[in-house]
Amino acid sequence: MLFPYCVQRYVSPYKSPATGYLVVDGYISGNGATQYSLTRTIPLPGDSTIPVVTGASVQVEGSDGSTYPLSELGGGQYGINSMPLSTAVRYRLRIGLPGGESYLSDFVPYKPTPPIDSVNWVYNSNGVTIYVNTHDPANSTRYYQWRFDQTYEYHSAEATGFIYVPSTNSIALRTPAQDVYTCWKDEKVTNIIVGSSAKLAQDEIYEYPLLTIPLNSQPLSVEYSILVTQNALSDSGYYFLQQMAQNNQSLGSIFDALPSQPGGNIHSLTNPDEQVIGFVQAGTVQQQRIFISNQQLSNWIYLNRCGDPDRIIPNDPDSIYFYFGAEGLNPLYQNFGPTGPLFGWYANEPGCTDCTLQGGTTQKPSFWPN
C-alpha cells in the first residue's frame, strides 16, 4: 500500500533583521589567548559570503569589577593574548557596535579544563579517522567542546627548477626562495563538536571521533598535522552547542526535525526582542598537536597529475618570450639535443607546477619538523 506525503513549505516564525542576526563565537580563556568572532547570519539559501562585523568594542568583564578590552584583529576577529582570570570570579562579555547597538552576556563561571590524554588515529578503508581521549579524575567536567586546526604539506604535480626572467627574456635557475614545489596549507574546521560523559559513571571520553580524512586525499600526501583544542563546558552551554550542531546538520531533508531556535546567553541591551546567536563561556584551554606522515600509511597514493603533457619549447628568444612571457608556462628542466647543445625547455602550466595556486604558501610553519 502506498501512502501519499504532503510537503509544506516551512516558514520560520523568527524574522531576521535586514542585517541578519549577530553571531558571537569564541571562548574566554584564562591560560592563553582569548579570541571572539563577530559575524552576521545570511538568508538560506543566499549569498555564501558571511558578513563580518568590524569597528566593534569588545571586552571581558569580571564580577569583581575587572575589565579586559579585546583588540580588533581584522576580519571580524577580536582578541587578547592573556588575562589573569580566577576560578573565584564569574565573567561576561560586553559588545558595542558602531551603530550604537550594545550587547551583554550573562555572567558565567570560570571552569578549568582537564588535559587531553591523547589524540590518536586509525587507518582503515575509509581513510584516517582521528580521535581524542580525555578524562577528569574529579568527575566534575562532564561536558566538552573540541576545535581543531589542520596544517598539511603538499607538492605540486611537477617541479620547476627554472624561472623566466622578463627583464632579460631568459631562463634562470630557481633559487631556494623561489621554490614553488613544496607548500603548506592551513584548514580550519567550523563544525561544532561536543561530547558528554554525563550518563557515564566516570568522567571519561574515549576515542571520540573528530574527523575522517578521505582515503588517498591530498592532506596526507606528504605530512599532516592537527592541533586539537579542548574546552570545558557548562551543561547549558553544551546543550546550546548541541542544538546548533543538530540544526546545521539536519537542514536539507523534508523528514528531518524542523530547525529550532536555540537560546543563548547573550542579550541585546538596545532591543530586548532581538535574537543573538552565541553562548559565552569561560575557563582554561587544553591543546595537543600530532603529526601523521605519509610514510606511516601503506598504499596511501594521492594521484597528483598534470592535466596536459609536458611541452618542449625551443631555445630561441621569440619562443621563450611567447611561451614563458606571454602564455605564462613554467620551465621544468632543460632539453639537450643529440649532440649536446641546449635544444629547448620542457614546460607546463602554472597550475601543474606552482603549489601556491592551490591555496597554500611556501612559508614553512614554525612548528613544522625539519
Give me the pLDDT at residue 206, please.
97
Which pLDDT band holds residue 253 (cuts at 50, 70, 90)? very low
Q: pLDDT at position 44, please? A: 62
Report phi then psi at 357, rounded to 5: -75, -5
Confidence at residue 40, expressed as pLDDT on a 0 to 100 scale: 94
8 pLDDT tier (thresholds 50, 70, 90): very low
The pLDDT tens digits of the residues spanning 36-67 come to: 999 998 876 555 688 999 999 999 999 999 99
Model pLDDT for residues 145-169, shown as the tens digit of each residue = 999 999 999 999 999 999 999 999 9
Point out which residues pair with 182 in neighbouring strands: 155
Mean pLDDT rounded to a whole number for the chain: 90
HSE on the CB side for 20, CA within 13 Å?
A: 18
pLDDT at 10: 43
Contact 212, 127 (CB under 8 A): yes
Structure confidence by residue, pLDDT tens digits, 268-287 = 999 999 999 999 999 999 99
- Domains of the chain by start residue, with CATH: 14-107+235-280 (2.60.40), 160-182+304-358 (no CATH)
For the cut 50, the answer to whether the pLDDT of residue 4 exceeds it is no
Which DSSP state fits 295?
G
Backbone angle region of 139, left / alpha / beta, with phi > 0 → left and psi within -120 to 50 → alpha: left
Higher pLDDT, 50 or 349: 349
Give residue 43's pLDDT: 74
Q: What percent of the chain has pLDDT over 90?
A: 81
Most confident of 13-27, 327-341, 346-360: 346-360
Of the chain, the percentage scoring pLDDT greater than 70 comes to 88
Q: Count CB neighbours of 358 within 10 A.
A: 13
Q: Which three cell numbers stand for residue 118?
A: 591523547
Number of H helices, E strands in the chain: 3, 24
Query: What does the alpha-carbon distance between residue 115 and residue 134 come to, in Å, rounded to a whole number?
Result: 7
Residues, the chain, total? 370
Position 17 scores a pLDDT of 61
Provide the pLDDT confidence category of residue 260 given band limits of 50, 70 and 90.
Answer: low
End-to-end CA distance of the chain: 67
Instruction: Identify which of 154, 152, 218, 160 has the alpha carbon closest to the alpha carbon of residue 353.
Output: 160
How far is C-alpha 247 from the chain's CA centre?
A: 20
Provide the pLDDT for residue 131.
Answer: 98
97-144 tens-digit pLDDT:
999 999 999 999 999 999 999 999 999 999 999 999 999 999 999 999
Per-residue pLDDT reduced to its tens digit, 170-210 = 999 999 999 999 999 999 887 899 999 999 999 999 999 99
